[in-house]
Structure 1
């Protein structure tokens, strides 16, 4: 194990990060897969919203299915956090590759330079690791290419920018066009953890596995048939993780029949006797609502609400 790997963070509440200021700089990195995108469109998108874009070198590289070598992608991750001119970090895409970086991340460096870090899908590996070893809130939210430049529905952008700038109300808004389903009633409070179900399971048995005790588990996925979702949930249960959590928020499981998925979820999660709320539009979906990973939240399955119980970003005081 790398000697820079800090002891796991056991704080009841993770630290908030500095808010993205008006006119701030957003650093763009590619810690997973490679991606072609229009730099002019990306710059115009940022300019139109009052932000500056700083693209780190590895974004332009390609190493097979990866965006540059592990060395290049790790360097960009470290440089983006260490660069005091960068106010927030946005991933260009997911794909695969983040788990290859984990054992060499300098988490002490990240602790010294906390800032909003945004992504989903394969980026889940980084969310889980930062929650465990760096101790500050990160954001499961829109990425540049698949979400922002793809012009997903307005809540995608607005929920991201409100969250990062400190304008997010305590009650997280969910689009009424996409009804939620209470699979198990109740109310629970805990640290919001999780992300992509496949990536969560890939951390099990490693130094970076999910810390589930007393948490609210969020799961989402894409391109996984129902039997694989079944297998992943069974893996989590047999690893003891489902028995640790206080509630479950189910995001979008793209490509699976909703009725059959709900039956499976009731079978797997019902015996836990904890609140379960399904249909939350976060993940590989449109819209894609931003969630604060590691933050203390209250899941109210009875009223179908998710409520922030702590500040997730801190505005500068003048």
Structure 2
């Protein structure tokens, strides 16, 4: 199948690279988690970075890490602070969607920087992608991933991406211990957008819903049985969000039989005649590899390869 034309206008702007001895801001825009702050700071120091912990990280308001105002102030403060070189989220859970209509996107546009998280943080990736226009990163969070002892590719992919060691034209490495599966062969190019499938579906019909025209859709999920994955994909189909896709990259769908998942993916996407690659280790899994949301990529499902087609950070 010939490569499909590039939607260059949809590619998002790169952000400043994470510099050596920089400052990483830690925020909790979603749920709370107990954090050993000394361990966290020491972990970052051992890798050459200073960790700046924002107030909401130490708070809890039921299932939220602090009130909406505290979490919003931390998000705004981390982007506005010129000393913060990158922003990492504490954990997912729930809470990010409550902030969407309160975010000052002009502030974010004036202060682009690497922003990293996954799961519930997908809501913020979708909003940044649609309303701020710069690349963000679906990648490890501090508590469960970086401090949680996940396999070495997790940390390496995180730092290599943010430091700019993965450049335009580079294949995104994937560990051979976790083979990928071609659901539908073919080659396509477009911006990589998406994240957690449940969060993508929950924002449909809002000003923060995903724009799928001419893109490579990335999806992952956890604690959703196969019939719910089917329901979520059908929701996207009925909302017209599958019609303009150029390709699909499927990350980890934790708790679902992989063979049954691939059969469902084939049923959903085969009529669209687009490449579909499944099994990418990104999401609620170990390792949890960093992906650039909004960046131009080339997906070769037959060769089981994903190539970066633009620089995602600049120095």
Q: TM-score, normalised by structure 2?
A: 0.96
Instruction: Confirm whether residue 224 of structure 1 aligns to residue 224 of structure 2.
Output: yes
**Which residue in the other structure is 2:238 paired with?**
238
Alignment of 1:120-159 (within 5 A): 120-159=118-157
SS in 2 for 1:188: strand
Kept in 1: contact 2:11–2:190 (CA 8 A): no
1:12 CA displacement: 2.6
Q: Which residue of 2 aligns with 1:3?
A: none
Segments of structure 1 that go 5 or more residues without pairing to the other structure are 1-9
Partner of 2:5: none
| Shift >4 Å, 4+ stretches | none
Give the distance between the partners of 2:225 and 2:48, measured in 1 at CA.
Answer: 41
Deviation at 1:11, TM superposition (A): 4.0
For each residue in 1:68-103, what CA deviation from the matched residue of structure 2 results, as whole angstroms up to 9, or x when unmatched? 111110000000000000000000000001000000
The answer to whether the 8 A contact 2:22-2:50 is kept is: yes
* Partner secondary structure for residue 20 of structure 1: coil
* Cα deviation digits, residues 145-179 of structure 1 (max 9, x gap): 01000110000000000000001251100000000
1:15-34 equivalences in 2 (<5 Å): 15-34=13-32
Give the structure 2 partner of residue 78 of structure 1.
76
**If the length of structure 1 is used for normalisation, what is the TM-score?**
0.95
SS of residue matched to 1:123:
helix
Q: What residue number does 2:248 align with?
A: 248
2:306 aligns with 306
Aligned-residue offset at 1:13: 1.9
Cα distance in 2, alignment partners of residues 13 and 141 from structure 1: 19
Residue in 1 that maps onto 2:270: 270
Is 1:46 equivalent to 2:44 in the alignment?
Answer: yes
Map residues 185-196 of structure 1 onto 2, 5 A cutoff. 185-196=185-196
State the alpha-carbon separation in 2 of the partners of residues 244 and 56 from structure 1. Answer: 40
Q: Count matched residues.
A: 306
Distance 1:274 1:11 in 2: 21
* Corresponding residue SS for 2:10: coil
Equivalent in the alignment of 2:97? 99
Structure 1 Cα separation of the partners of residues 231 and 146 of structure 2 = 32
What SS is found at the alignment partner of 2:286?
A: coil
What is the Cα-based RMSD across aligned positions, in Å? 0.8
| Unaligned 5+ runs, structure 2 | 1-7
Distance (Å, rounded) in 2 between the aligned partners of 1:133 and 1:11: 15
